[in-house]
Structure 1
C-alpha cells in the first residue's frame, strides 16, 4: 500500500474527526513533515548486516553499530529524529524487514516527544516483517505526549512461525514535573498493533485509545495513579514462550510498589505480552529489562550487557 493511501486510511479513524483543521504554519503532510525510514537486514557472509537503508528527514539512521558486548553479532540501529520531536501535521512511515536467519536491534536515540498542538494531529505507520528464523528487538524509548497533543499510530507486523520479535511501546503520562495539567493532558493518543503470519492469517490485534478527560484512566485495572506504562509483545514459537513464562516472575505487590508487571499469553499461540506500570520511566524500564533479558536468553542463548540501552 502506498504511503498516501495509508495516510488516507488513518485520516478516517473515528478518534481523528475533531482534529482535521490545518496548521497555520505549514499544512499537514507538507514536504519536510513526512518522515520516511526503511531498514532491511539480511545475512551476508555469515553476518547480519543492514543491507537496505532509505531515509527522509526528519527521520534518520546513520549506520548499524555492533557494540552489544553480550551479542556482538547483533546490528544496532538507533533512529534519530532531527526535528526535535513530533509536531502537528507530521506524518511518519517506518518499514523494517529482517531476512531469513538475520537479527537486529532497533531503538530510538531518546524519548519521542509529541509536542502541544492547536491544529490537526501527528501520525505514524509502521510495518515490521520477520522471515524464517529471524530475530528482532524493536524497543523505542518512551513516548511522551505533551498537553493538548494528538497522535495516532498503526503498526502492521508479519512474523514467520519460527521467528522471534520483541516489540515494545512505553508511554509516559506527560511532563508531570513541568505542570500539573500535563499528566494525561493530551487530547488523544491512539495506537494499534496487528500481527499476522506470512500467509495472511491474523494472530491478534490490540488498540490503546486515551482521550482527554477519560475518568477510567485511574481505575484500578488501568493506571491506578501510576504515570508510566509499557506494553511489550514477544511473538515467538510456543516452546520458547513457555520457557520465558516459566522464568519471568510476576511483580505484583501493590503496597508501596514503584512498579507492577506481569506476563500473559497472546491469542492463537502467538507468544507473550508484558504489561508494566510504574511511578517513573526508570521504574518501568527495569521491568522491561527483566523481560527482555529472559527473552533474549531463551530465544538466542545470549544475555544483556550490563546497564541500559536507553540513556
Structure 2
C-alpha cells in the first residue's frame, strides 16, 4: 500500500502535477491533501481543477489549511483590508477574485484535521499545521512534537504548513512533515511531497523532492498579472520558486517593524508599500 501525501500547493499547478504524476508512477493507492491549495502563485483555477479531477479519479482525502480559511473569512466578513496592488494582500485578493462558488463550497466542507484507519495498520492522523489549528506549527525537534507523539493514540501524524520537510520519532510513533509541493523551501526549489508505505502492518515514510520546470510556475506568476498586483511579495515568491530560499518572513518582519516604529501600527495587512520597498532594499532583494 502506498499513500501519496501532498501539502502547501499554493496555486502552483506545475509543482502539484509533478508530485501527483510521480506518485501515480510509483503506484500510489490514494492521496492525502493537507491544505493551502491556493494563493501566492498564478492561475489558482488550474490547481483547483486538477484537484477536482483527482478527487473524481482516485481515493482522496482533503483538509483545509490557513489559506483556505483566509479565503472563507474574507468571503464571509470582508474585514481584512485587502487591496490591489499590494505586497501585503494583493496576492490574497487576486486569488479570492479567481475562485468560484464551487471552490468556496469545497473549502467550507473541509475539516482542519483527520484520521485514517486501515485494518491491520496503526491509525494515521493528519493536519495542516496542528490537529487543533491550521496555523499551528509542529516544528521538527520541538518539545511540542515530542508531547504530541507521546500523547497521540495513533502510529503516525502527517502535517505541512512550515514548508520544511522532515521526520521525528518518539517511542515508535512518527511525525512526517511532507514539505511543500508549490513553494518549497530548500532542495533548490524542487517540489516536495511524501509517500507513506504500508507493509506487514507497519508504516514507513519516504520524503521526496521532484525536479520540474520551475520556469513554468514563474511564467504563470507574470502572465496572470499577479506579479504586478502583489509587488514585493511576488518577487519573494519568484525567488523561492527558483532557489528554494525563502525571504518572505524576514522581509515581512522588517517591513512591519518599520511600520510600527514610524507610525505605531502593527497590522500586517495594511503595511504601506514604502516600508515593503525599504525592507526589500535593506535585505538586498531588489538588486
| Both proteins in one fold, TM over 0.5 | no
TM-score, normalised to structure 2's length?
0.28
Structure number with higher strand proportion: 1
